[in-house]
Structure 1
Amino acid sequence: MSSVQSMIERRPPSVAHLFLSRVEATPGHEAYRYPAPVDEHAADGAPGAEQWRSLTWAQTAERVKAAAAGLMSLGIVSEDRVAISSSTRIEWIIADLGNMCAGAATTTVYPSTNADESAFILANAQCKAMFAENESQLAKTVAEKDKLPALEYVVLFDAPAGPVETAGLTVLTLAELEERGAAHLAEHPDAVDKAVEAIDKEQLATLIYTSGTTGRPKGVRLVHDCWAYEGLAQQESGLLRAEDVQFMWLPLSHVFGKTLISGQIATGHVMALDGRVDRIIHNLPVIRPTLMASAPRIFEKVYNGIAGRARAEGGAKYKIFMWAAGVAREYARVTQENRVATGRDSAPLALRVQHAIADRLVYAKIRAAFGGRLRGAVSGSAALAPEIGYFFKGAGVPVLEGYGLTETSAGSTVNRSEDFRVGTVGTALPGTEVRIAEDGEILLRGPGVMRGYHNLPEQTAEVLEPDGWFHTGDIGELDKDGYLRITDRKKDMFKTSGGKYVAPSEVEGKFKAICPFVSNILVIGNGRNYCTALIGLDEAVIMPWAAEHGLAGKSYAEVVADPAVHTLIEGFVKRLNTELQRWQTIKKFSLLPRDLDIEHGELTPSLKIKRPVVEKTYADAVAGMYAGTVEA
């Protein structure tokens, strides 16, 4: 057994144990950074101003223990469910670790979830208490209180501006909870330590409800051992390092963000938290992260934004960018192919010279926009178009694709910065097994796999075999070196009326790499005699183009309905079709009057398209693309 494997096998029972060990090992080291309002009465203060503050591990532990003891004073006991409904911020960390150190089980709720579905999750999990970000989250709960007989307490991160409706709930602020906890610890100083010591590795730690594309979400039961394993596996794989500064903006309600908390505790590196998506570009040069996790959509938007600005500047600048983008992709492909073949990142002299020139003209500016010292950006939750991956690799911004599901505590496979392969999701984390079933489905087994769906034994049995193998529902391939490539969702693949299989995500990914104006694309063709597409454009990129082409002053909906825009996108569709098999080609497409979004229920909180919802919403557009008789 290797030393890495041995360390993982000797893992502690829980992240609560890991956390207390981390605090003991490096109490004075910086743990977290977070933005906070500047006191407007201070010399440099101004209304609305912010500054970044820090917590050491010892300071974090003081707050976490106070929160845990506060929960105990409310009567929260082992495996009681305590929800968190909030955006990503330092208080989310305090609440989650407080839950864990009290022996409670965190139930995550996206703050964007509507009142009805929030109530379903809280009721299904039988939550006794919840942390709510603000009055808005409290109001959703109060409105559905009659469906929540088990819920007694709500703890607010932000103090209310005035009296609030409580519907009989006991409402207090996080500050008040921590005060209660401090008083409780004054009388019982070892209360939290004893609660942590009592945690069993198979005790429920977290219920995360899958967002799904249809029907009610299912609660995924993740025990303390899942998170302890994930923490050490991420550390020992080299994905996370003690010297890292990680920028965390992902929703911590999602398993991708949640699992990285475990890894950060294991390594002890700094995590800077700010979940405001509109602040990402502003925060990057301030934080200067060495590591950042993201959904592919962010990299697509960055690429589209760079290409769009270059196109707007026109002339030589646009030509230089397009040349540099091509060099980046070619350099990344060649060096990757040579590393696979020989173990070395080599390239022909002419290509190396071109790459060096492009680096000075273009790539250095891109790296600076990411803070200037990013050694890796971990991408997950959906597929990244390989062409975009090659572009960023060639530009010196390694996008390390990984793979996992809510049901596997997120982390199952990942690319490492020292040897990553674009187009794959890397190799298995230490302690996780991967195999491909006869029908091509990816199966996973390891300590991170869930213990089942909450109160759904039949649905659990459908995906989880008695010997621990989990059926992911994804189709993939393993190469001789153990690198996994995802080809499509098993349920998303379709067959045309001509009997040809189409993997829509493959076609969609190719189009995103070709067209700088696209935001979302949905390929359709199940049982049809040809493929079509619904396309949503990126407003931030298409509107400047429209203004320069005689469409200034028009709304987004008016712009996408204009024949000139249809002609523009048609050119990219024709280019896409040259790269596809005949049965994959897009014969017709429809531009959507607005982009897909979470608010209309068309995207999950992790930005995956809910295909049935979109097809139903735009059923008339789909029907129009299949009106009449067209040969396949």
Structure 2
Amino acid sequence: MSDTQPLIENRPPSVATLFLERVEATPDAEAYRYPVPSAAGEGPDEWRSYTWAQAAQRVFGIAAGLMSLGVAPEERVAIASNTRVDWILADLGILCAGAATTTVYPSTNVEETAYILADSDSRVLIAEDAEQLAKVRQHRADLPGLKHVVLIDAGDVSEKGELTGAGPEHGDPEGWVISLSELTRRGADHLLADPDCVKNTVAALRSDQLATLIYTSGTTGKPKGVRLRHDCWAYMAKAIAQQGLVTDQDVQYLWLPLAHVFGKVLTAGQIEVGHVTAVDGRIDKIIENLPVVQPTYMAAVPRIFEKVYNGVASKAKAGGAAKYKIFQWAAGVAREYAKVTQENFRRTGNATAPAGLKTKHAVADRLVYAKLREAFGGRLRACVSGSAALAPDIGFFFSGAGIHILEGYGLTESSAASFVNPGEAYRTGTVGKPLPGTEVRIADDGEILLRSPGIMEGYHGLPDKTAEVLQSDGWFHTGDIGELSEDGYLRITDRKKDLIKTSGGKYIAPAEVEGQFKALCPYVSTILVHGADRNFCTALIALDEVTLTAWAEEQESLKGKPYAEVVTSDEVRQMVDGYVEELNGTLQRWQTIKKFRVLPRDLDVEHGELTPSLKLKRPVVEREFGHLIDEMYAGTREV
């Protein structure tokens, strides 16, 4: 089965071209908002703005500055920084200099950072602060091609642009480290000498030139560099605009890591559409920022929606039995309302509901949903969810509460956005329809194959690995299993390599079981279902510290005890067992969780168990907690 969307013709060669067109079309319109912490470090941040013309002034300065350092077209310039407006401006500066951006997560460890910089042969690193600089200084001798480090936060850089206390004795040749402001100053000088250098460079860009190297965070082995050409991003920008989900009147709140392809594609779409983007990658500031920014749309990963849902549920539970009962009733009404209205829209084009359900929904709205929408800023039209599967029950809850989550699908190798749900016609539990210009085919074994201008050129320096997934006719093997509806909606059932086949020959999609549990248990953070080649399924369950601690305070036997003691208690095990039993009541016999273990801590990026986009690294977790898995199967007879 396959689906093909009409191609997008006559697209420009690059996003750099689109950026110059945007600046010329709306120079005085607001482009970006960014927070500036208060001087004393206390009180709310001050939000400031750049117009498109002001953004261009900074971008041109960075681009010309890189040229002054000798950076040539298609040479790599790396960025290691948290999400902030400077990341976007630096990326655009790199593209406008004709170079290619290598993205590095700021959480990447020293060894992997050095590997990425060496493998990409990056000439310059734009680093956020001294912490990122320290990583490369440790491997300076192993990075002969790295000619300069540019510091965004240059508190430890002198006015001359030199690292304070630097010198040959510190392993820093003179001028190796400069500040971003110094780079921009050099760019201004370069522009004085050659005023058209940036515009001429952008005009010379070809669509097949390398624009971005994004390294996938592999679960085993070294990460692979995904080569994305200028045409990938120009296509994505045009496809997003043509999809019609966003307009130039929108305000986007962007917090996703820009080193990840999901965050990066949002910057391309914004330039084409021309709306405002408020940028702040501090995850701990999301709750505080939403009422201030009042976004009309935002993108997030499922873990964020799960945390919000669990937080609301546990808060209701802490309010007493009556309050929790009201929440459970309202959650049930939300799910029923969402399912009915989505089905009616599918059949008739009208999102209607029976009168009795409408009445219940109106009451639940006053009691629960309105407060939830207010917490998101009060103006949210829709959220886009990607990077991993969202549990349908959680999606239906938010949908019924008036927070419309449009699930999408894509990979680093496809420039992020290959599918997205189409506005009002969205269907929870699917990732929507292909973007214009994207072809999809379902192979005989259920694997999803994609072909579009957004597909990567290949893996950097790895032709054999490229040939494993990319056919000569352009079809890319995603490694995901899915189903297409008759009218073109795609449902992802699992990762091909993650499907479990029990020793009894039954296939199980663990993500489906895990998603159902997340919708049932308000205290779960992550669950991993195991059972490949075993005669029954087990689970490793990590609990959310904040919500579990609040629950523990209500238990006389656990009140005041530290999290480490709470999470290993019999009371917690019994509580989780109740939710596991509830889950098992909804599953086929061979899917049920026969045994589980509560992990002593939450899974996180720092231990390498989650990717920076919060995806679960199954092999890593199974290795780390293999003793618990072995314990669950000890003494059982495998058949």
* Residue pair 2:300, 2:384 contacting (<8 A) in 1 also: yes
Q: Does 1:59 align with 2:54?
A: yes
2:120 alignment counterpart:
125
Whether 2:222 is the aligned partner of 1:208: answer no
Question: Post-superposition shift, 1:244?
Answer: 0.7
Q: Deviations over 1:251-288 (max 9, x none)?
A: 00000000010000000000000000000000000000
- Structure-to-structure mapping, 1:4-23, within 5 angstroms: 8-23=8-23
Q: Which residue of 1 aligns with 2:516?
A: 510
Supply the distance in 1 between the matched residues of 2:165 and 2:559 (Cα, whole angstroms).
46
User: 1:105-128 deviations in whole A, cap 9, x for unaligned?
Assistant: 000000000000000000000000
Q: 2:117 and 2:156 mapped to 1: Cα distance?
A: 25
Q: Per the alignment, do residues 344 and 365 of structure 1 end up closer, same or farther by CA in structure 2, a change over 3 Å counting?
A: same
- Superposed CA deviations along residues 76-124 of structure 1, whole A, max 9, x for unmatched, are 0100100000000011011100000000000000000000000000000
Structure 2 counterpart of 1:621, which letter? L
CA distance, structure 2, for counterparts of residue 287 and residue 269 of structure 1: 14
- Partner Cα distance (1:613, 1:225) in 2: 35
| Residue 565 (str. 1) matches residue 560 (str. 2) | no
Structure 1 distance, partners of 2:44, 2:380, is 27
User: What is the CA deviation profile of residues 559-582 of structure 1, one whole-angstrom value per residue up to 9, with x for unaligned ones?
Assistant: 111111100000000010011111
User: 1:154-169 maps to which residues of 2 (within 5 A)?
Assistant: 154-161=149-156, 163=164, 165=166, 167-168=171-172
Rounded to whole Å, the distance in 2 between the matches of 1:183 and 1:631 is 73
After superposition, give the CA deviation of every residue in 1:505-555 in whole Å (9 maximum; x if it has no partner). Answer: 010001001111100000000100000000000111110111110212222
How far did 1:49 drift?
Answer: 5.5
Matched residues in 1 for 2:156 and 2:118: separation? 28
- Aligned partner of 1:187 in structure 2 is 193
More displaced stretch, 512-521 vs 548-557: 548-557
Report the 3-state secondary structure (helix = DSSP H, G, I; strand = E; otherwise coil) of the residue aligned with 2:256.
Answer: coil
Q: Which residue pairs with 2:589 in the alignment? A: 582
Corresponding residue SS for 2:326:
helix
Aligned partner of residue 423 in structure 1, secondary structure: coil
Instruction: Identify the match of residue 109 of structure 2 among 105, 111, 114.
Output: 114
Deviation at 1:455, TM superposition (A): 0.6
Structure 2 residue aligned with 1:438: 444
Q: Does residue 523 of structure 1 match 2:518?
A: no
Distance (Å, rounded) in 2 between the aligned partners of 1:53 and 1:557: 42
Which TM-score applies when normalising by structure 1?
Answer: 0.97
Contact 2:584 2:593 in 1 (8 A): yes
Quote the Cα distance in structure 1 between the aligned partners of 2:414 and 2:340: 34
CA distance in 2, matches of 1:337, 1:164: 66
2:99 pairs with 1:104: yes
Once the two structures are superposed, residues 448-477 of structure 1 have per-residue CA deviations (whole angstroms, 9 ceiling, x without a partner) of: 000000010011011001111100000000
In 2, the alpha carbon distance for the partners of 1:396 and 1:465 equals: 42
Match of 2:24 in 1: 24
Q: What is the CA deviation profile of residues 280-334 of structure 1, one whole-angstrom value per residue up to 9, with x for unaligned ones?
A: 0000000000010001000000000000000000132111111000000000011
Give CA-to-partner distance per residue, 1:354-386, whole Å, 9 cap, x none: 001111111000000000010111000000000
Question: What letter matches 2:16 in structure 1?
Answer: A
Alignment of 1:214-233 (within 5 A): 214-233=220-239
Distance 1:498 1:70 in 2: 63
Q: Give the whole-Å Cα distance in 1 for the aligned partners of 2:423 and 2:565.
A: 44
How many residue pairs match? The answer is 623
Q: Hey, what's the Cα distance between the residues in 2 that align with 1:186 and 1:246? A: 35
Q: Judge conservation of contact 1:556–1:593 (CA < 8 Å) in 2.
A: no
**Of 111, 116, 135, which aligns to 1:140?**
135
Contact persistence 1:559–1:565 (CA under 8 A): yes
Structure 1 residue aligned with 2:257, among 241, 251, 268? Answer: 251
2:242 aligned with 1:236, yes or no?
A: yes
Shift of 1:342: 2.0
2:491 partner SS: strand
Deviations 1:570-616 (A, max 9, x none): 00000100111111100000000000001011111111111111111
Distance in 2 between residues matched to 1:419 and 1:208, nearest whole Å: 32
Q: After alignment, is 336-345 or 606-615 more displaced?
A: 336-345
Question: What is residue 312 of structure 1 aligned with on the other side?
Answer: 318
Deviation at 1:629, TM superposition (A): 2.4
Match of residue 384, structure 2, among 373, 378, 384: 378
Alignment of 1:149 with 2:144, yes or no, is yes
Residue 161 of structure 1: how far off its partner (Å): 3.0
Q: Secondary structure at the match of 1:155?
A: strand
Contact (CA 8 Å) 1:375, 1:417: kept in 2 or not? no
Give the Cα–Cα distance (whole angstroms) in 2 for the partners of residues 60 and 10 of structure 1: 26
1:615 and 2:622 are equivalent in the alignment: yes
2:34 maps to which residue?
34
TM-score, normalised relative to structure 2:
0.96
Residue of structure 1 in register with 2:402 after alignment:
396
Is 2:448–2:482's contact at 8 Å kept on the other side of the alignment? yes
Within-5 A mapping of 1:148-547: 148-161=143-156, 163=164, 165=166, 167-168=171-172, 170-547=176-553
1:48 deviates by: 6.8
Give the drift of 1:240: 2.3
- Indicate if the aligned counterparts of 1:13 and 1:200 stay in contact, CA closer than 8 A: yes
One-letter code aligned to 2:13 = P
The answer on whether the counterparts of 2:16 and 2:202 sit within 8 Å (CA) in structure 1 is: yes
- Contact 1:38-1:48 at 8 Å conserved across structures: yes
Please tell me the residue identity of whatever aligns with 1:88.
T
